[in-house]
């Protein structure tokens, strides 16, 4: 177990950072996912996700924000509106909401429509006002968004408890699991992004040949 933990820690550390796109930015790189934040969610979340999500999914991510307050989750309406943001080549849309009154609702995913909705209110720790609480909150959100993005891309849940694709049943499992995909899931995600011509390698990395030499 110690060897597994050490390997996963090293694997997480060596990943190099690269960046997503905030709404309004343009680049030659195609975006694979849209993350849209609804309601009064701090701008720090926008910046954090635009920095931290792309290296997890090996693709550029587009971030949008709607500051209008949400009285309720209204899942069906939100999902149908969110999916309209998806461009043809993009793999999915993840709508993030903060609705404390809807703590029983955590997430909704429709693979056929390529859309997911995540209510981050239940992820907030009791000490949310402290520095440690704010950091924990952000990492919980990142882990869940990473999992939803990978599911929309076509990956399946992973039984490895340290993988970001592990389906957690409580906060202890969520806080203990890794922020990144495990090596097998990472390879699957890289291949998928390459096949879709959406693969974004870290800086100075040559894009791997995922075809095995086949053209």
Helices (H), 83-199: 131-153, 171-176, 183-195
Confidence of residue 29 (pLDDT cuts 50, 70, 90): low
163 is a domain residue = no
What SS3 class is residue 42? Answer: coil
The answer as to whether 147 is a domain residue is yes
Q: Which residues pair with 96 in a beta bridge?
A: 37, 118
- pLDDT-based confidence at residue 156 (cuts at 50, 70, 90): very high
152: containing domain = 15-156
pLDDT digits over 101-111, tens only?
766 668 889 99
Number of domains within the chain: 1
Q: Would residue 166 count as lying in a domain? A: no
Q: Does residue 30 lie within any of the structural domains?
A: yes
Instruction: Tell me if 26 is assigned to some domain.
Output: yes
| Residue 73 located in a structural domain | yes
Res. 24 pLDDT band, cuts 50 70 90: very low
Does the residue 77 lie in any domain? yes
Question: For residue 124, is pLDDT > 80?
Answer: yes
Domain of 43, CATH number, reads 3.40.390.10
Asked if residue 6 belongs to a domain, the reply is no
């Amino acid at each position: 177990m110690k060897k597994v933990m050490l390997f996963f820690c090293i694997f997480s550390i060596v990943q190099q950072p690269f960046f997503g796109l905030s709404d309004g930015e343009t680049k030659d790189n195609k975006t694979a996912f849209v993350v849209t934040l609804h309601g009064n969610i701090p701008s720090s979340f926008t910046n954090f996700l635009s920095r931290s999500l792309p290296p997890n999914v090996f693709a550029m991510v587009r971030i949008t924000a709607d500051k209008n307050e949400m009285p309720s989750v209204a899942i069906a309406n939100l999902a149908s509106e969110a999916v309209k943001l998806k461009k043809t080549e993009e793999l999915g849309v993840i709508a993030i909401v903060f609705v404390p009154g809807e703590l029983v609702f955590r997430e909704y995913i429709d693979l056929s429509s390529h859309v997911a909705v995540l209510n981050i209110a239940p992820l907030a720790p009791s000490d949310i006002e402290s520095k440690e609480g704010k950091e924990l909150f952000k990492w919980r959100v990142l882990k869940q968004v990473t999992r939803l993005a990978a599911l929309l891309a076509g990956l399946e849940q992973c039984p490895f408890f340290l993988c970001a694709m592990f389906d957690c049943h409580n906060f202890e499992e969520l806080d203990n699991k890794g922020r990144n995909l495990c090596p097998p899931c990472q390879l699957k995600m890289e291949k998928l992004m390459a096949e879709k011509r959406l693969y974004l390698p870290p800086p100075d990395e040559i894009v791997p040949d995922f075809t095995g030499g086949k053209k």
